[in-house]
Amino acid sequence: MEVINTISQIRKTIKEQEKKGKSIGFVPTMGALHQGHISLINRAREENDLVVCSIFVNPTQFDNPEDLKKYPRTLETDCTLLEAAGCDYVFAPTAEEMYPTLPKLSIDFGNLEHVMEGKFRNGHFSGVGTVVAKLFHIVNPDRAYFGLKDLQQVAVLRRLVNDLSFDLDLIPCPIVREKDGLAMSSRNRRLSDDARKIAPQVHIALQKAKELLIQGKSSTEVKTIIEEHLHSFPELKAEYFEISDFDNLEPIPAMNNEGQTAICTAIYLDGVRLIDNIVF
């Protein structure tokens, strides 16, 4: 496995491989890797000749400087995990390499900007859209793999790929969870031992909401019940808990009988922002 830090070097390497007819699977990450990320590498490994993983904590998608500062950075252990998983190239640029000057471009994803994550993280998806577009131009993959853990990100990037005609397949991959149901996340390592014990309540609340919707309760009723349930854990502070249409992520009054329903939440615990969702 080769670790590459510059745009010119990764471009040169990939062009050489493309000339040999090799297909490229790409997994963009912000590092601090866990088995959720590795599941994307494994899928990319199965479906492509070569696997490229990028590790870049993208400053332009953080609206909270403290969160950016605290974001875990563990390049050495990440590389050990990636090598064991059969990754071929790691692209790990510095912020200066990616942004010699700060981008002026801002991408507006329409209604997707105004719901859930978009509502609470100003400019987040514009930052995600810009960095992923840059990475797609640099790596030129045949397939790019993203986790459904970040459901809204998948929706935004699907728009990016369609609207800008990127010549690649965007492959959404299932959420990988700890044994107790907590969705794996780089942020989990910031939880105290006590908070870690409470953290599975996020997934439990989503499952409970799903059951209630299936029983025929309205979204408003379900939200009230879940709010009450979460009140028994004062450490959990829900930022949002939304019941939405899976395709357009607009709120829906009850379970979607035509298409799929997505229940998405962001909950603060111990100063850590946990996001999770369930689709059915």
Give the active site residues. Answer: 37
How far apart (Å, rounded) are the C-alpha atoms in residues 266 and 253? 20
The binding track of 4-33 with respect to ligand AMP, each residue x by CB under 6 A or -, is -------------------------xx---
Residue (62 or 241) nearer to ligand AMP, CB: 62
Interface with ligand AMP includes 37 (CB under 6 A)? yes
Query: C-beta of 218: minimal distance to ligand AMP in Å?
Result: 30
* Main-chain phi, psi angles of 279, to 5 degrees: -120, 135
> Which residue in the shown chain puts its C-beta closest to ligand AMP?
147
Q: Where are the beta strands (DSSP E) in the chain?
A: 2-4, 24-29, 50-55, 89-91, 143-147, 169-173, 236-245, 261-269, 272-279
> From the list 88, 113, 142, 150, which residue makes contact with ligand AMP (rule: CB under 6 A)?
150
Pairing of strands 261-269, 272-279: antiparallel
The SS3 assignment for 86 reads: coil
> From the list 186, 188, 261, 277, which residue makes contact with ligand AMP (rule: CB under 6 A)?
186
Interface with ligand AMP includes 36 (CB under 6 A)? yes
State which of positions 193-212 bind ligand AMP (CB under 6 A): none
Asked if 171 and 43 count as a contact pair (C-beta separation under 8 A), the reply is: yes
Asked if 229 and 205 count as a contact pair (C-beta separation under 8 A), the reply is: yes
Which residues contribute to the site for ligand AMP (CB under 6 A)? 29-30, 36-37, 39-40, 146-147, 149-150, 173, 175-176, 183-186
